[in-house]
Structure 1
Amino acid sequence: MIDMNAWVLRAMGLGALTVGLEILLGFGMRYWPTSGAWMRILSLIVLVAAVIAWGWLDGRSDRRANPDPEHGADLTMRWLKAALAGGIGAGLVAWILDFIPGFDLGDQGLVFNITSGAAFIVLLIFIPGMLGVALGRWLAGRDGKKNAPATTAPDPEPANA
């Protein structure tokens, strides 16, 4: 149950961020059409940075809870489920919001939004998420090794007096 809550929370949060960025981009493109290139890049950077940060937090907390790399949580499936649900959900919500007057989200059809558009969002969530997990685990493992008490080698055999 805890793992389900974890991927659902990530899917809803990152899907909502995706839709929010699409809405802002739509309004920006409407009022500043010549600035579309940098607005798209900025939206992409914000989404990828948020995903990497969340993945980093996951990886760091997992490594601290499980110092042995062989016994960590299965964060790959958590992030894959979150990416699939977030991408498809964001595509569906964006398609619905596109019917509201004043929202200009690209006038894409439902099939495009839940297939091709969603596939792009799935990749934008899953790949940076896994990079963040790997980075978080690596940094937490490195910090754990630095802070671990130094083990002393056993004394050589004592000399007989």
Structure 2
Amino acid sequence: MISWVLRAVALGALVVGLRTALGFGMVHWPTHGAWMRLLCLVVLLAAVLAWGVLDGRRDRIAHGDPERGADLTILWLKAAVAGGLGSGAVAWILDFLPKIDLGDNGLLFELTAGASFIILLIFIPALIGVGIGRRLAGRKSGGDSTSHLSHGLPAAA
């Protein structure tokens, strides 16, 4: 349980921090908004992808058999949902503070459309990273774990 909570809190805090920095930047340098949005998106995607790669490598090293690995899909789904909803709620609360501009979105928007976008931004790159990490760890451990399929050889029981 701790692993998905850690991911949710860390990535939710990253989202809130990036949104706060973006809001500050948009107030002071409004003509550079497109570049700032792109930079925030790249930072979030890179963090999620890197964490997913680490999870995938760690899982493949711990479980050499691809059929026996941990269920990282549900772990990352829980982390994404909690991170998306939590960051939306915190951003809505922070928007009431003076000098912090986060877009003046309502609570309903933050917990539905805003949260669903953040959930997808966390979940999909994380699973891509898990796949990459498992693939990289499979190659380092003496070959691809699916190589028996490409050679037409039966899998070892």
Note the C-alpha offset of 1:62. 0.2
- Cα deviation 1:39-70 (Å, max 9, x = unaligned): 00000000000000000000000000001000
Which one has the largest radius of gyration? 1
Determine helix, strand or coil for the equivalent of 1:26: helix
Find 2:17's aligned residue among 20, 24, 29. Answer: 20
**Counterpart residue number, 2:115:** 118
- Cα deviation 1:122-158 (Å, max 9, x = unaligned): 0000000000000000000011125xxxxxxxxxxxx
**Counterpart residue number, 1:45:** 42
Looking at structure 1, the residues matched to 9 and 73 of structure 2 have their Cα atoms a distance apart, in angstroms, of 17
Looking at structure 1, the residues matched to 45 and 85 of structure 2 have their Cα atoms a distance apart, in angstroms, of 17
**Number of residue-to-residue matches in the alignment:** 143
Note the C-alpha offset of 1:96. 0.2
- Cα deviation 1:69-114 (Å, max 9, x = unaligned): 0000000000000000000000000000000000000000000000
Sequence identity (%)? 66
Aligned ranges 1:1-161 → 2 under 5 Å? 4-146=1-143
Determine helix, strand or coil for the equivalent of 1:76: helix
Determine helix, strand or coil for the equivalent of 2:103: coil
Looking at structure 1, the residues matched to 128 and 16 of structure 2 have their Cα atoms a distance apart, in angstroms, of 22
Determine helix, strand or coil for the equivalent of 2:96: coil
Looking at structure 1, the residues matched to 16 and 142 of structure 2 have their Cα atoms a distance apart, in angstroms, of 41
Structure 2 gaps of 5+ residues are 144-157
Determine helix, strand or coil for the equivalent of 1:145: coil
Structure 1 gaps of 5+ residues are 147-161
Looking at structure 1, the residues matched to 4 and 80 of structure 2 have their Cα atoms a distance apart, in angstroms, of 9
Looking at structure 2, the residues matched to 15 and 132 of structure 1 have their Cα atoms a distance apart, in angstroms, of 18
- Cα deviation 1:14-52 (Å, max 9, x = unaligned): 000000000000000000000000000000000000000
AA aligned opposite 1:74: D
Determine helix, strand or coil for the equivalent of 2:26: helix
Which consecutive segments of 4 or more residues in structure 1 shift more than 6 A?
Answer: none
